Amino acid sequence: MLQPRLASRLVALLALAALSSTRCSRQSESQSAPPAAAPSPTAPSAPTTKQDAPPKPEPTAPQDAAPKQATPAQATTTAASDKALPPTTAFAGSEACSECHEEQHTAWHQDWHSRALSKATQKFVVGNFRDAHFKGDSSEAWMSRRDNGYVMRTLGVDGNVSDYPVQWVIGGKRMQDPVTLTQDGRWQVLPVYFHVTGKSAWVDYSEKRQGKLTPDHPFFWANFARSAQHACLDCHTTGLDVRYDRGAHQWRTTFADPGVACESCHGPGARHAETQDPKDIVQPKRLPPELGMAVCTQCHGPRRTLFPMLDAAHHFRPGQRYEDFYQPMVLLLGNDVSGDYFEDGRPSTSSFENQALTQSLCFMKGGATCLSCHSAPHQKHAPNELQLPKSASAGVSPPNATCQGCHASVFAQGKQHTHHSSAAAPDCIACHMPPVVTGVLDHFADHAIGVPVPQNTVKHAIPNACNACHTHEKQKPEDMAQALERWWPEAKKRQERRLRLADAFADKTAAQSRPSLEAVLADAQEASELRGAAALFLARRFHAEAIPALRAALPDAKDSLLRSQLAEALGAAQARVAVNELAPLLKDPSIWVRQATAFALTQLGDSRGMAALETLAQQPETSGLMAPHAMLGQLAMRRKELPKATRQLEQALDVQPYYADLLVMLADLYMVQGQPDKARERLEDAVRFAPQNQGARERLSALQGR
């Protein structure tokens, strides 16, 4: 078996591999990410061009749609004509779509999806740059107009106050984030944002989330963790392709369109623009429900990416399966507990709509997806892209009309169901999707769609729908719980689920949580993401005691997310007795599962794990994964096979060059092999991405002193 130190490194490495995620920096900055060097002031604007992305996997067809066999003559003709057409992975850009779809293109331009990212021009900038000033504990900034452009003057990591031109802005509906481009091509999100819906004021949202930020903090505005390429652009552009030249230390960023444009939802359209053939474009509503939902989920739920962000060839495309590219982040961020969840497993932060909806009974039992309630951005819709009701009772709002479509009998009961007499009483949303979710300093509806559980407010300080309206100090959660039991006695059964989940995940009840965690894990009717989280919590809190429950859950784990997390949990729990049960998962269809199993078996000292890591590192389908190369490098170091270790770590850094700990490890390898110049280069890279990395700084200082 592995030594404990190496085993813990392996767990951390797997966690980091799973955290190659991209998400908007204003949504949450709690995820672990290596930071970067400060940008230079007055950096030039890097060109952003429309280009075809590298070849990507073809969209996944429904399993029951068998392809028709072509005759040899047909195949030859088709092959010749296909050769003259753009590849199915090529983007056309929204302007090409407008040639045939002018009405939809015009309507899309009026929707906020089109302004997810915009050039910083007068048309799009909503922030006050008329000599405005902001001062907080972490940041101070002066906003002004100069030469028909926008400038923010603020502190950089070099300790100097400098002017930074604003070339792009992210969003603008509720919050607008200014972006500056650096001389090395990074897009950095500047420290203060304009809060459109919050009295039109400048705010330091990161400080509100993280506390006071100093220049050596990963989430100080100029560091890599706050770069838009790492945290924002994947969901705020269409056809993103980010490259990094390790030798020149330069970033290059291109995309087909700024904003969430046509091809974000319909897939690359260059071929369709030539052929106008319906089979060359994706229609989300015609996809199977899970594939249609994936179109929205690709952005409406922070996630771990299987392949690193620089691997444009493995970006998700509409029509493909979400789980082949992503895993939703739920409750845990690597080895840390996320601050974006309530104790009962519901997201507490906006933009986690996927994680919330997939926990709901509407999804699990009723089959509801995003498209059950929401429309396309280019269609006529109510606010927040809600569908306009086709038929509804007079005076019913669009949100309630979507509920009425499935729950007409409950809706018809009126006050007999609501037990309230106020004008807002028949509001389904107020009671079942209360605005208790926060984000960009506003409040949003809870997409977990459940019944209120005031008991969890008492025990775990989780907000409930009743007290979202009944805010008087005499209207206590205990009173709300009694009223619920009196008016809706049947709700008690549904409340038990959230009570159990809170007792399972809460820190407050961690020492006594084993029965609740085991019950969640064993419940085949529970959301797989919550069962997987329960498996990981069990392993971390109870170690060997968790092994029987983890082994019992493995045979019937039908979901790839659950299988991969069970494998990870069994490795973390040092479940040597389970190696033969894990081994078949090395042939699992899911790369996620194969990788997690290879790590677990290696962690447990089983030689099949090492062989699986070698396979993952060598096969074309998986050679672009960072983690197998990194782990093979560390294992080779342990065996003192220094050339092999060096080669594997360099390959890992080719696909994820911003991993500072690997850069430090590689520098140590070069020093041992008598190559101080290469060691210095890797340490300088580490400090470039993680200026707060003490190990890199100390080694670099010693090397320079030598």
Structure confidence at residue 67 (pLDDT): 37
Q: Taking a C-beta distance cutoff of 8 angstroms, is the pair 333, 28 a contact?
A: no
Structure confidence at residue 692 (pLDDT): 85
- In this structure, are 44 and 129 located in the same domain? yes
Last residue of a domain, one of 282, 305, 330: 282
The residue written with tokens 């979901």 in the block is 559
- In this structure, are 46 and 10 located in the same domain? no
Look at residue 353 and tell me if it is in a domain: no
Look at residue 434 and tell me if it is in a domain: no
Structure confidence at residue 446 (pLDDT): 96
- In this structure, are 546 and 692 located in the same domain? yes
Look at residue 121 and tell me if it is in a domain: yes
The total number of structural domains in the chain stands at 2
Last residue of a domain, one of 267, 282, 297: 282
Partners of residue 164 on adjacent β-strands: 152
Structure confidence at residue 13 (pLDDT): 58
Supply the pTM of this predicted model. Answer: 0.88
Look at residue 53 and tell me if it is in a domain: yes
Strand spans (E) along 89-195: 117-119, 132-135, 140-146, 149-155, 161-166, 168-171, 175-181, 187-189, 193-195
Look at residue 110 and tell me if it is in a domain: yes
Could you report the average pLDDT of every consecutive run of 10 residues in the chain (706 residues)?
54 53 44 36 40 38 39 50 84 96 95 96 95 93 94 92 97 94 95 90 87 87 92 94 95 96 97 95 95 96 93 94 95 89 95 96 95 92 86 73 88 87 78 91 93 96 93 90 93 95 96 98 97 97 98 96 98 97 98 98 97 97 96 96 97 95 96 96 94 92 84
Look at residue 330 and tell me if it is in a domain: no
- In this structure, are 247 and 105 located in the same domain? yes
- In this structure, are 11 and 96 located in the same domain? no
User: What pairing do the DSSP bridges indicate for beta strands 117-119 and 168-171?
Assistant: antiparallel
Structure confidence at residue 661 (pLDDT): 94
Helices and strands, number each (H, E), in the chain: 33, 22
DSSP secondary structure of 18-84: HT-----TTT---S-----PPPPTTPPPPP----PPPP-PPPPPPTT-PPPPPPHHHHHHHHHHHHH
- In this structure, are 612 and 514 located in the same domain? yes
- In this structure, are 549 and 647 located in the same domain? yes
CATH number, domain of 577, equals 1.25.10.10
Q: What residues make up the domain containing 567?
A: 4-16+506-705
Last residue of a domain, one of 282, 315, 335: 282
